[in-house]
Amino acid sequence: MTAQILTATAAELGRRIAARELTSVEVTRAFLDQIARVDGDVHAFLHVDAEGALAQAAAVDARLDAGEELGPLALKDLFCQAGVPTTAGSRMLEGWRPPYSATVTQRLLDAGLVILGKTNLDEFAMGSSTENSAYGTTRNPWDLDRIPGGSGGGSAAALASFEAPLAIGTDTGGSIRQPGAVTGTVGVKPTYGGTSRYGVIAMASSLDQPGPCARTVLDAALLHEVIAGHDPMDSTSIDAPVPPIVDAARSGDVTGLRIGVVRELGGEGYAPGVELRFREALGLLEAAGAEIVEVSCPHFDYALGAYYLIMPSEVSSNLARYDAMRYGLRVGDDGTRSTEEVMNATRGQGFGEEVKRRVILGTYALSSGYYDAYYGSAQKVRRLISDDFDAAFAQVDVLVSPSTPTTAFRIGERTADPLAMYASDLCTIPSNMAGNASGSFPCGLAPEDGLPVGFQVMAPPLADDRVYRVGAALERALGSDGVLTDAIAERWVEA
């Protein structure tokens, strides 16, 4: 029975709980037991709230309303949850327990979802490998010597090792989609403003967006629907109806859909196995009735450089609040040091090397005499990238590309080369710059290393349903719900 619970889709678990074939407590215990059994190897979780999760599950079982459709999930440790440790993967916030919950967190709880705990991430979501966490590296369940992507590697790894059926992440430059790609799971970045940022520890406010992580397209859509919608507590929240994402995920009909292949997101630097599986996926979608055309987005070539000026600039501003004066870590306050000395000691010890690198870069880009040359110019490139998307979407319904140029690389392989690390997000960054919807879906294993490959789908703002429609069509064409579930389940789920 335990194996059946762990490998079931979240939609199926929700149906069985609603029908009283299973209790929420039974399901929650099964996942807590799996976490206890395997997380010593994977290190997906920073905090497991077993007592709180079981109490939430008991409350769900006690409700007379049988309309709960989803089960337990893991929450990236950027989301505030009242009374639960929230660290952002940083020593700066070690031991902090928020007095309030993020809007996304509260919507999950209101919907009857049980939060198992908080997952690991690169510190303050800055990284592409989950090696920058102050609390240790998360490992990819497909190969424990490989990275699980980043910054949300903990959420993706929890899904791939069957420690949770659902997870929540944030995507600033690919932090949901890139981990999804390299772990063989589904990750979607909603339209910017489609999900609330209130109560989410900020990295880069004009780029951050919470979104769903799952093992199937329908599960991701169901979770997306729970967390989406206008929030007056977030000034960037869009006051518009949530697109029909669940219907799209159930339909998967791409007949007559025009799919544009982005010329600039492929070719040199892309692993042969990634290119092979991507082209095979295109063939499956064409056989399902879609029309495949090539589209050029020439300014995408400048997205990475512009992103690494805009994002650090916003990081510099957002992280200025961690000053040892208001909350969080405080170092060297022995009564003899000045305020400046305490602030310097605290930020020196509280932030890791990657965070310091980005704060310094962003502060420089915003400094007098350099603002127009760096930050201002990067914003102009951002406008050109948005124009590229607009021109492309005038020709096609969605754009597609590999989710990431390579499969998961080895732990430690890129830590000494920040530019190589940043290149992991070549394909995902443009959608964050423009704010449109985007998702990554499994499309098979690369023949050279047997590791998962991701297929990225990009749609216009507030056309998130198109992302799910294409993802569902691909999932169906590949022959199963949860394309890679059976292959990885043999490694992690006891019969």
Contact between residue 200 and residue 469 where contact means Cβ atoms under 8 Å apart: no
Q: Among 24, 76, 161, 237, which one carries the catalytic annotation?
A: 76
What's the DSSP call for residue 130? S
151 is catalytic: yes
DSSP at 116: E
Report d(CA 8, CA 27) in Å as an integer. 11
What string of DSSP letters covers 424-444?
A: GGTTTHHHHHHT-EEEEEEEE
359 Cβ contact partners less than 8 Å away, ≥ 6 residues apart: 312, 315, 316, 319, 351
Q: List, as one string, the DSSP characters of 143-193.
A: BTTB---SSSHHHHHHHHTTS-SEEEEE-SSSTTHHHHHHHT-EEEEPPTT
* Euclidean distance between the first and the last CA atom of the chain, given in angstroms as a whole number: 9
189 is catalytic: no
Q: Which of 128, 151, 313, 403 is catalytic?
A: 151
Active-site hit among 90, 101, 175, 424: 175
- What are the C-alpha distances in Å from 360 to residues 257, 271, 309? 45, 33, 11
Distance between CA 121 and CA 146 in Å, rounded?
15
Strand partners, 46: none
Residue pair 119/158 in contact (Cβ under 8 Å)? The answer is yes
175 is catalytic: yes
Peptide linkage before 24 cis (omega within 30 of 0): no
Strand pairing class (115-119; 45-48): antiparallel
- Residue 124 CB-half CA count within 13 A: 27
Which residues does the annotation mark as catalytic? 76, 151, 175
